[in-house]
Structure 1
Amino acid sequence: MTEQTQSMALAVPRGSASLEAYVRSVNSMKMLEADQEYELAKRLQTTGDLQAAKQLIMSHLRFVVHVAKGYSGYGLPQADLIQEGNIGLMKAVKRFDPDVGVRLVSFAVHWIKAEIHEYVLKNWRIVKVATTKAQRKLFFNLRKAKTRLGWFSDEEVSMVAENLGVSKADVTEMESRMAAQDPAFDLASDNDDEDTYSPSFYLEDQSSDLASQIEQDNWENDAQARLFAAIKTLDERSQHILQARWLDEDKTTLQELAAEYQVSAERIRQLEKNAMNKLKACMEI
């Protein structure tokens, strides 16, 4: 098998024509004999031979396609189902022990289905229909048991419950979950009905919190009012120094104020510090 063919096999295309070509490609790959499979698995187990791992994966890709077809009724892309199954196959190859005495295909089927199950459950409904292990088992078994689009009759519910070993209430609840439709988050662009609502109408607009904005404005106004009231308690010189040093648009330097009051710059700094301490004390009252 060439490297180009191997790369093509691991990347599942999405287009219908390309997917058909992919399926033909993997179906053309030779299946391994039992002794070949054992030898490759042993090489991988003992030496970590990645080429052996690749041969084991490639020879079983057709089986992944076969399993993935069984999940085509969920409305999910077949290419994605196959891709998830391939991930399960790779996990199985990594954990496969050839000395146990079973073929890789028997061991890998559980890993392949587990990955596809997880993908189906995550994508088939926005609201999860199955959250526990028991619900997941019931979900997939119930999908297989449904042979028509309508609801089960009481007799059919009883029959399914008996066959699956669960209660009638469990069957009815799961059927209801599966039949539920996820509402559109936003209205369609052509919907102009004023009486129509969607979930997006009920979300809080985090960018416009009116209550918080009013609270912030009130706090700022109160703080500003208390600041100017505190400034008025200072003597005229201290008020002028603070005004010139902090409140005017064009700030005045210590040297300029020292020249104006004919004192040292250090004295202006002391007066400024004392005025600041008095303001702080007033603001904390």
Structure 2
Amino acid sequence: MGKSLQPVDQMVPGANLGAYVQAVSSIPVLSVERERELAEDLYYNENLQAARELVMSHLRFVVHIARSYSGYGLAEADLIQEGNVGLMKAAKRYNPEKGVRLVSFAVHWIKAEMHEFILRNWRIVKVATTKAQRKLFFNLRGAKKTLAWLSAAEAQ
């Protein structure tokens, strides 16, 4: 195990987010073979140590995704924690026989947890409760960037 696994109390994103990001970045990325070996051990034997090593090695990816949601005014540490929950759900549901890497499978679960957190905490009044409303809410920021003021000819 060595350096790749650290005590959990040092790995909680909170007041010292920089130290957490540095600690996560120091965890080595798994090779394809090692990831598959751990995933099979988790899938067939429900080995929690294998799950822990899989999750720990992918925490840097959660940080990367959380940074893309920084424009909502929510704490980055909270987004990272929600993303970590999504990563754990993905590791539990991951089937190594499907031929995809865990990170490819987990991106959906990580983003889903972050989206739910944003929708629950972005405003006091609940917004975007249906699937269509959620899609509109998260696409609105991108649409604002691409839209520009109308020219005089377009306004006529």
Secondary structure of the 1:5 match is: coil
The corresponding residue for 1:129 is 127
> What is the deviation of 1:9?
5.8
CA distance in 2, matches of 1:106, 1:95: 13
In structure 2, relative to structure 1, the CA distance for the partners of 1:88 and 1:152 (3 Å cut) is same
Could you tell me the TM-score, scaled by structure 1's length? 0.49
Secondary structure of the 1:76 match is: coil
Q: 2:13 matched to 1:12?
A: yes
Q: RMSD between aligned alpha carbons?
A: 2.2
1:184-225 Cα shifts (integer Å, max 9, x gaps): xxxxxxxxxxxxxxxxxxxxxxxxxxxxxxxxxxxxxxxxxx
Structure 2 unpaired stretches of 5+: 152-156
Could you tell me the TM-score, scaled by structure 2's length? 0.88
CA distance in 1, matches of 2:105, 2:94: 7
Larger relative contact order (Cα-Cα within 8 Å, sequence gap ≥ 6): 2
Q: How does 1:1-285 map to 2 (within 5 A)?
A: 1=2, 5-8=6-9, 10-13=11-14, 15=15, 18-147=16-145, 153=149
Secondary structure of the 1:147 match is: helix
Contact 1:8 1:22 in 2 (8 A): no
> What is the deviation of 1:145?
2.7
CA distance in 2, matches of 1:138, 1:38: 37
> What is the deviation of 1:129?
2.4
In structure 2, relative to structure 1, the CA distance for the partners of 1:51 and 1:4 (3 Å cut) is closer
Structure 1 unpaired stretches of 5+: 156-285
Secondary structure of the 1:129 match is: coil
Contact 1:26 1:62 in 2 (8 A): yes
1:43-91 Cα shifts (integer Å, max 9, x gaps): 0111111100000000000000000001100000110000000000000
Give, as a single letter, the amino acid of the residue that structure 2 aligns with 1:101.
G
1:77-109 Cα shifts (integer Å, max 9, x gaps): 110000000000000000000000000000000
Decide which structure has the larger Cα Rg and report it.
1
CA distance in 1, matches of 2:25, 2:143: 30
CA distance in 1, matches of 2:103, 2:4: 23
In structure 2, relative to structure 1, the CA distance for the partners of 1:75 and 1:47 (3 Å cut) is same
CA distance in 1, matches of 2:137, 2:10: 31
Q: How many residues align?
A: 150
Contact 1:12 1:22 in 2 (8 A): yes
**Aligned structure 1 segments of 4 or more residues deviating by more than 6 angstroms:** none
